[in-house]
Every structure is written in structure tokens, then in C-alpha cells.
A = this chain, B = another copy of it.
């Protein structure tokens, strides 16, 4: 684990995919796999795999392959899957509700504590037994809670304001679904899901084949 601090963002972005494939291998009772076999499944080159996995320890053995269970455990550890993350969702529109309803995120340690919205029609409604609260009380709520992740699902023009409230209250992780690039002090970790950007990537690719 001492090598961990040197893991690049590019490797971090590939880790969830390793995690998915290793979990499948575990489910299928595969104990060992070579970088070549893993390459065929996962679609990265064998050399890329060796380089990536070398970032966080000495797992592979020439002519012997990787110990699937050990590798899986280590990746879970690096991905922070051994912890739980107290989470609030801000914005209970389409995507906010979808995220709130995703029970499988709980396996990742995502523990939904509260949901906030500005819309009086939504305030008071319950999603999976969690009441939607008035966004005016977000600041007060955060002062009294210890929240790890804030999920921003509000429209563009409110996203930075919500982000500032989260940061002010020591929320360190932001999962941002608003199509804006948030400005935060150093140390705050942001992961963006820009759905419009993703759709535009697809239309761009489609346009290319005409």
C-alpha cells in the first residue's frame, strides 16, 4: 500500500473496471489469471495491466499469473470499499431521485443520510424512507452531521452555491451531476457525471460514420 500515493488519475479511472472484472472472476471461482487472459477479457493490453497493477504492489508472478482473490481484495481496499460514506443528495429531480433509489450503491458503502430540494412540492415526500428536506436547512444540517459525500443534482445556476455550502461544512467528496465545472479549494475531491457531455460524445461519434 505504500505505492498508493503515486497512483495516477489515469490508473484510478481504470480501477473500477478491474474491480468489476475481478469480481466476476471471483464469482466464477477463478483463482488465478495471467495478464494475457485478463487482457482478453478487460480490453486493456497485457503490458498496460502489468504496469497498472504494479502501481500498488507485487502481485503477479512470471508464468504463474495473478492471485484473483488477493488482487480483488487489494483493489477493494484502494477503492475505499472497506468503508462507508455518509452521503447527502441535493436536488431531488429526475437524477437525484434515480440516485436515491439505487440500492446497489449501498454495496459500495454509499449510505444515504438525507435529501434536499428547493421545490415545496417535493419537500416532505419520502424516497426509501428518507424525507426530502428544505434546501434552506442544508447548511444547518451539515453543521450537525459528518457527511463524506455530497451528490449535486441541482440545475446549473445553483450548483456552485450548493458546492460552496458543502465545502464550507467540510464535505470532502462531491459527486457532481450538474453540467458545470465546480470551483473548489484544494483537497476537495470531485467526480463529475456530465450526462449531456456523454450524449454529445455519442452524437459526435455517430456523426463521424455518415
Contacts of A19 in B (CB 8 A): 200
Residues A149-164 near B (CB distance < 8 A):
149
Q: Does A3 contact B (CB under 8 A)?
A: no
A side interface size, CB within 8 A: 59
Residues A108-158 near B (CB distance < 8 A):
108-110, 148-149
Contacts of A80 in B (CB 8 A): 203-204, 206-207
Q: Is the CB of A20 within 8 A of B197?
A: yes
CB of A152, distance to nearest CB on chain B (Å):
12
Q: Does A95 contact B (CB under 8 A)?
A: yes
Q: Is the CB of A200 within 8 A of B108?
A: yes
Q: Is the CB of A204 within 8 A of B108?
A: no
Point out residues on A near B: beta carbons under 8 Å: 4-5, 7, 12-13, 15-17, 19-20, 42-43, 78-81, 83, 85, 94-95, 97-99, 101-102, 104-105, 108-110, 148-149, 172-175, 179-181, 187, 189, 191, 193-209
